[in-house]
A and B are shown apart, each in its own frame.
Chain A
Amino acid sequence: MAREMHGMVEKRGASLWLTHVFMILGVLVIFFPIWLAFVASTVTQPEIVRPPMPLWPGDQLWENYSKALFAGVNVPVSTMLFNSLIMAIGIAVGKIIISLLSAFAIVYFRFPGRNIFFWMIFLTLMLPVEVRIVPTYEVVAGFGMLNSYGGLIFPLIASATATFLFRQFFLTIPDELAEAARVDGAGPMRFFWDVVVPMSRTNVAALFVILFIYGWNQYLWPLLITTDPEMNTIVMGIKQMFPSGDDVADWPVIMATSILAMIPPVIVVVSMQRLFIRGLVDSEK
């Protein structure tokens, strides 16, 4: 495209600077809550409870974070981080595995009840866990799965978004590949492992990013089923760190915990930005 044409539309000089200034202002405003939390996690409690608190980091970073990680309020934050990690990975991996298998079955086989099954999946797309919390809680309690990783993970993989996505993708795999596999005498599972799974790599990775964040950020469900602080996840555990009644909250430790709670999903989103955006667009289509 011609250079002078760009000149007509994209601004130069003062106007360009103004655009940058707006952009930086926007980023600063959006970023401010995170910055403030970070500052609060590096100062002492007295500095916070006598407002206004400083807006520049202090020197208590190590003290606050090590206190949060190894002592915490009800339970060390390292324990909650571990629980969150198991939950997020469990949900992401579990959902990807069961969806790959069932999408493969729907696309590459004709079996009785296939259509009923397909509509069943479609229905599960519609109902978030928030809507059926009481009965789901009773089911999980009935299985004795309160305060367990199974109880945290299974109810949240009972939705079919991923199955739907993989189905759409499998439909775009050329028929010739399946034909060739059949001519070569390869069975369906061989075809699944050698062709379908490798071809789905990018989709799997993009979905993993989305599902990891989905699992990590869960709040209501862990709040209901983990009564034992040892099983708390970090996102729901923060609220439990606020004292009941009139006691003053331990803000530096709570804010250090908030920062720790956002680090893993932020790393995943920022480092896998392209995959993340792709996964986002795919899963909403």
Chain B
Amino acid sequence: MEKRVIFRGWWLPALLIAPQVFISAVFFFYPAGQAVWQSLFIPDPFGLSSQYVGLANFEFLISDPFYRASFGTTAIFSILVTLCSMIPALFLAVIADRLIKGSGVYRTMLIWPYAVAPAIAGVLWLFMFNTRVGVVSWYLGQLGYDWNHVLNGNEAMGLVVVASAWGRISYNFLFFFAALQAVPRSVIEAAAIDGAHFWRRFWTIVLPLLSPTTFFLLVVNVVYSFFETFGVIHTITSGGPQQSTTILVYKVFSDGFVGQDLGSSSAQSVILLFVVGLLTVIQFKFVEKRVHY
């Protein structure tokens, strides 16, 4: 789509886009280029010079068991976060949609967690499950279950998953709720007259109609759990115990800033860049569908 009416001249538009071009060039394209460039080098131990090594950083990463493990951890983590945030959200949205009165009040209450930063969510959940003072871990102890996410990798994973999914429930709820409200009443009523019960209507009519929203949310939530959960992991587990919660983005940070291994960290950035690219392409394909819907 193009405008038929345009203004003439080239220096004014150049001036108008200058701020964005400048900021993107300095803080985006140059650093991104640097990431690609540095991924081809290995700095010497004293940081005085670096040696060109071609793709050796990438070859090393692919054969590195820790990096491969981090890929697996990221996959499990993002699948769990996506499920744990979408299923409760859909459930709540379906209930809210059944109410004519009061759904606005519930909606207002339910969008709160969206505003809570992932890092703050991490602190709140850490507080509940803290091994010394946590309320939930204390009651679990009373029930005979010894909760210790500091030592137990699975419990650590469970905790970061729930803390990451929590705020996303609000987000998914809003999208599911909007989609449910858009389902034509007449279709539902026709099915009701034919004697279909609530759950039958839900599985055979409502859920298929929600599928564009569901696909969209699937992709968006995977992207979220890949890139925006750093705060949760850093506050709760710092990637531990034994790297059991070290997702890819956390590893870029810990290798680059804590481990000072710039070559490897940059190579990881480049790999992530491809992952983001892939996810974006998938997202755009689904968004296309959504627009037609």
Binding site for B on A (CB under 8 A): 1, 5-6, 8-11, 16, 19-20, 22-23, 26-27, 30-31, 33-34, 36-37, 40, 48-49, 51-53, 55, 97-99, 101-102, 104-112, 114, 117, 120-121, 124-128, 130-140, 154-155, 157-160, 163, 171, 175, 178-179, 182, 187-189, 191, 213, 216-220, 223-224, 235-236, 238-239, 248, 251, 254-255, 258, 261-262, 265-266, 268-270, 273, 276-277, 280-281, 284-285
Contact = CB atoms under 8 A, between A and B. Distances in A.
B27 A136 contact: yes
Given A19-B99, A236-B119, A262-B116, A133 B266 contact: no
Contacts of B38: 134-135
Interface stretch (B45-53, B55-63, B71-79, B105-113): B105-113
Given A130-B228, A178-B3, A236-B119, 15 more contacts: A1-B185, A26-B88, A31-B109, A36-B128, A51-B135, A98-B20, A102-B20, A131-B249, A131-B273, A134-B38, A134-B269, A159-B28, A235-B117, A265-B115, A285-B287
Chain B contact residues, majority secondary structure: helix
Contact of A160 (B14, B16, B24, B127): B24
Given A130-B249, A132-B32, A285-B291, A124 B24 contact: yes
B17 interface: yes
B158 interface: no
Interface residues of B, number: 103
Interface in B227-259: 227-228, 230-231, 234-235, 249, 252-253, 256-257
Contacts of B290: 285
Interface of B: 1, 3-10, 12-14, 16-17, 19-21, 23-24, 26-35, 38, 88, 91-92, 95-96, 98-100, 102, 106-121, 123-125, 127-128, 132-135, 138-139, 166, 169-171, 174-175, 178, 185, 188-189, 192-193, 216, 220, 227-228, 230-231, 234-235, 249, 252-253, 256-257, 262, 265-266, 269, 272-273, 276-277, 280, 287, 290-291
A218 B230 CA distance: 10
Contacts of B111: 269-270, 273, 276
A160 B6 CA distance: 23
